[in-house]
Amino acid sequence: MKNLFLSTLVFAATALPALAAGKTNVLFLICDDLNCDIGSYGHSQVRTPNIDRLAKRGVRFERAYCQYPLCGPSRASFMTGLYPDQSLIHRNAILIRKHLPDVVTMSQHFKNHGYDATRIGKIYHYNVPKDIGNDGHDDPASWSHTFNPRGRDKTDEAKVFTLRKGSYGGTLSWLAADGTDEEQTDGIAATEAAKRLEQFAKTKQPFFMAVGLYRPHTPYVAPKKYFEMYPLEKIVVPTVPKGYLASLPAPARASITRKREQVNLKDSLAREAIQAYYASITFADAQVGRILETLESTGLAKNTVVVFTSDHGYHMGEHGHYQKTTLFENAARVPLIIATPGMATAGKSTAMPVEMVDFYPTLTELCGLAKPKHLSGVSLAPTLRNLRSTPRRDALTQFATGYSLYTGRYRYTEWGAKGKSGAELYDHTNDPSEMKNLAKRAAHKTTVAELSKRLHERIAEANQKPKGVTQVSTRKK
């Protein structure tokens, strides 16, 4: 375990007088590779009592979407408030300063305004499990303090079952572990988060604390008791109709078949993988609960905005695919709960489409900070006060050569320049699982034309040069 204390970096252009103690704090909780298979989102099996409890004192966003269904680009996007085409980060293992040397990140903005900005665990990209215990591809300028937990899930890697020998992070792999929650990396992170909260309660220092849990990212490691909650015979494996792949454009088909050892798993293996994923979710929920209990017991909940989310969605057999990197609902959609002190809308939900680039402007408004000029998202603060307020009407996600738009009723996707590599249209009213591609059907010609126009408007917006931020492209001319 490594605890780094970083020097404060203040940019004169954004520096304002430090806020006095007692200002609104932020607790930003994020799981890795978590989809919406949780209790408060209606899943019938997965047990997440602590996240569900947070939903009862916050607003649950039913339709929140990442901007890129891959860890590195997604995390860079919401931490900078920029779309991937603006951050120029479209793959993992890239330091954000390589392309955005002078951007002020979300936590950095709070740090520049007198907050202690603490990172515990994974916020920017890390190779998991390789980088557990070190800084990964973190951004030092974003933090006042950092803590890198390292538990027995890392030291017990040799015990992990994996579909591809020697590969863990990008391959389905799992372990029903011995020992306690507190010995796991995320358990150590929760312990450190509780300790930091107790310190903040004593010092009255305003804080922006981001806690990044590694689970349920592969390898799906959790103590055995969590696996026992999900008997294999009760696991439901999604099915795919015969001939389904032929209905998809080639790039979409490639996105769900690129890891061939993980496509359409045999039933017994699929049950084990899904069991392990569910166990990891419930284990992560328990760590979230430990952190929230400390927030409440210290009295800090009365003055702290809490955000709970994931970096992108995840497939667990839907469309025959496992893991992420598709433009289907499963990979694009994320859980999002925001709780503010004394909110009138507590326990309610909204189906308004929202994007992860909205986090940055939302938190600045909720905490009374000036909004940086470079931000591309919109503030969700009006919606938190009044659920009838709908600042967004659709949500944009991209992957590889494709762009996808969710509108509330439809998901429309185009691949390649101006859709030359194919298109997809799904009607969520009649096909929420997105299994019937309507893009080529004559009856939907008008809908396709309208959505294509809107999609390209959104793509143009997502490609606008951010104000006041230097972009450094490494593409060869």
Which residues form the catalytic set?
A: 71, 125
116-121: strand order across its sheet: 2-5, 145-148, 116-121, 207-212, 25-31, 304-310, 336-339, 59-61, 348-350
Reported as type and span, the H/E element at residue 191 is helix 185-203
Taking residue 463's Cβ as centre, other Cβ atoms within 10 Å add up to 11
Describe the crossing of helices 267-297 and 185-203 by its angle, rounded to 10 degrees.
20
Task: Tell me the two tokens of residue 413.
Answer: 């996707």
- Check if the beta carbon of residue 212 is closer than 8 Å to that of residue 119: yes
Per the document, the length of the chain is: 477
Contacts of 208 (CB under 8 A, 6+ apart): 25, 26, 28, 106, 107, 110, 111, 115, 116, 117, 118
- Check if the beta carbon of residue 462 is closer than 8 Å to that of residue 86: yes
The SS3 call for residue 375 is coil
- Check if the beta carbon of residue 70 is closer than 8 Å to that of residue 92: yes
Give the span between the Cα atoms of 215 and 399, in whole angstroms: 23
Contacts of 340 (CB under 8 A, 6+ apart): 58, 305, 366, 384
Residue 121, sorted as left (phi over 0), alpha (psi -120 to 50) or beta, turns out to be left
DSSP state of 289: H
The SS3 call for residue 124 is coil
ω into residue 140 within 30 of 0, thus cis? no
ω into residue 206 within 30 of 0, thus cis? no
CB burial readout 82-96, b (16+ within 10 A) else e? bbbbbbbbbebebbb
Q: Which amino acid is at 366?
A: L
Task: Tell me the two tokens of residue 442.
Answer: 């004559």
State the number of CA atoms in the 13 A half-sphere of 75 facing the CB. Answer: 30
